[in-house]
Amino acid sequence: MAFTKFSEQSQGVQLLQRSLARGRLGHAYLFTGHQLEELETLARTLAKTLNCQNPVKTSGVATDCCDECLNCKKIENDSHADIHWARAESKSRIISVDQTRELTREIQLKPTEAGYKIAIISGADRLNSQAANAFLKTLEEPPPKSVLILLTTEPSRILETILSRCLRLNFSAETARKLSAEQSIWLQQFSSAAAGEQKSLFSRYRLLDSLLQHLNTLRARVDEALSARSPLEKYTDAEKDLREKWEEELKAGIEAEYRRQRAEVLLLLQWWLRDVWFLTLAAGEELLHLPQIAGANEVAKRISARQAQENLAVLEQTQRLLHSNVQEALALEVGLLKLQL
């Protein structure tokens, strides 16, 4: 299957093809999406394109496969000597350290039939800690003419050390985001503030204050809405034990709804940071999640693609910390100070 057949994943495919055309192919990718089988097909297509005997070319560089030559057919049938796979096979459904060591051994060898060695880990969220750690060295220093592709439908389960070493491409058929008026106003304010020079801690704390004020407004609104619907407001003469039960339920309900809305706010920031990363790659406005939000381009001019990618990892780490018992303000402060803007 050629890249031209993946119409619903056009954004991720376009970015990948532009990277090929500009000679900016990464050494390690993380493909994310809703279906693992679909991600495997995309990985095969990239492997075919890199090793195709009659590729489709853009400016003299291969950007798609013919899907007909001997190499393409071998890769399609998982019988090519230079394409290696690792999948969860044991009863516990994990990818073991022995599998990653074997994959590492294979990838270190020179290609035998084609131009590139390709290692594909399907279901990378199934890497146990030993297997993931054993693979880190290869991710950091892959051999020449090799590409590592990790596939997952659950990126949040992958170790941060793995995430930070891969270029992440999402193939979930996502398009430009429609924001509510409130979301658009707040995110535009945040983006405009970030677009200014960030040379002082004062500038960074202004961003933190903007985020915390927005979250405080959300919490107050959630508290007001759920309290108004609580039986505590209707049955003021209820027994003490019953009132205490309702109070606990209300408290838990407010916290759960606030956390949900907080996650949505941080997802907005993640989309904005993703746009910054795309702009550092000169990927084109049609690939942006939030083309209506100004300011991302100014940030992209000041940082490298690597720094933009690291920002995404920082925000993911912040999200994970907030799912634990860490203090919210501290986690957000650390996260925003780590961002390279």
* Per-residue pLDDT tens digits for 145-183: 899 999 988 787 788 788 888 888 888 755 456 678 888
Which residues make Cβ contacts (< 8 Å) with residue 205, sequence separation at least 6?
Answer: none
Boundary of a domain, candidates 136, 170, 204: 170
Residue 229, CA distances (Å) to 96, 187, 222, 284 in order: 50, 30, 11, 47
pLDDT at 90: 55
| pLDDT above 90 for 212 | yes
**115 lies in the same domain as 226:** no
pLDDT at 8: 55
Share above pLDDT 90 across residues of the chain, in percent, rounded to a whole number = 28
Q: Higher confidence at residue 53 or residue 228?
A: 53
- Residue 82 domain-assigned? yes
**258 lies in the same domain as 302:** yes
Q: Higher confidence at residue 276 or residue 251?
A: 276
- Residue 176 domain-assigned? no
Boundary of a domain, candidates 129, 145, 170: 170
At 315-336, the pLDDT tens digits run: 888 887 887 778 999 999 999 9
Q: How many domains does the chain divide into?
A: 2
Checking DSSP bridges between strand 146-152 and strand 28-32, what pairing results, if any?
A: parallel
Asked if 149 and 120 touch (Cβ cutoff 8 Å), the reply is yes
**21 lies in the same domain as 154:** yes
- Residue 175 domain-assigned? no
**211 lies in the same domain as 312:** yes
- Residue 94 domain-assigned? yes
At 215-267, the pLDDT tens digits run: 999 999 989 888 887 888 777 788 888 888 888 878 877 887 888 788 889 88
Average per-residue pLDDT in the chain?
85
pLDDT at 281: 85
pLDDT at 322: 84
pLDDT at 331: 92
Share above pLDDT 70 across residues of the chain, in percent, rounded to a whole number = 94
Q: Higher confidence at residue 173 or residue 33?
A: 33
pLDDT at 37: 82
At 190-199, the pLDDT tens digits run: 999 998 877 7
pLDDT at 134: 87
Report d(CA 219, CA 222) in Å as an integer.
Answer: 5
- Residue 196 domain-assigned? yes
**18 lies in the same domain as 150:** yes
**196 lies in the same domain as 290:** yes
**141 lies in the same domain as 12:** yes
Q: Higher confidence at residue 11 or residue 31?
A: 31
- Residue 332 domain-assigned? yes
* Containing structural domain, residue 251: 181-338
pLDDT at 242: 83
**80 lies in the same domain as 193:** no
Boundary of a domain, candidates 170, 194, 216: 170
**39 lies in the same domain as 152:** yes
pLDDT at 9: 58
- Residue 52 domain-assigned? yes
Mean local confidence (pLDDT), 98-109: 89
**102 lies in the same domain as 8:** yes
Tokens representing 261 are: 């809305």
- Residue 308 domain-assigned? yes
The answer to pTM > 0.75 is: no
Q: Name the β-bridge partners of 84.
A: 119
Q: Which of 60-69, 123-132, 144-153 has the lowest mean pLDDT?
A: 123-132
**123 lies in the same domain as 240:** no
pLDDT at 284: 65
**156 lies in the same domain as 96:** yes
Q: Map the chain to HEC letters.
A: CCHHHCHHHHHHHHHHHHHHHCCCCCCEEEEECCCHHHHHHHHHHHHHHHHCCCCEEECCEEEECCCCCHHHHHHHCCCCCCEEEEECCCCCCCECHHHHHHHHHHHHCCCCCCCCEEEEEECHHHECHHHHHHHHHHHHCCCCCEEEEEEECCHHHCCHHHHCCCEEEECCCCCCCCCCHHHHHHHHHHHHHHHCCCCCHHHHHHHHHHHHHHHHHHHHHHHHHHHHHCHHHHCCCCCHHHHHHHHHHHHHHHHHHHHHHHHHHHHHHHHHHHHHHHHHCCCCHHHCCCCCCCCHHHHHHHCCHHHHHHHHHHHHHHHHHHCCCCCHHHHHHHHHHHCCC
CATH number at residue 160: 3.40.50.300
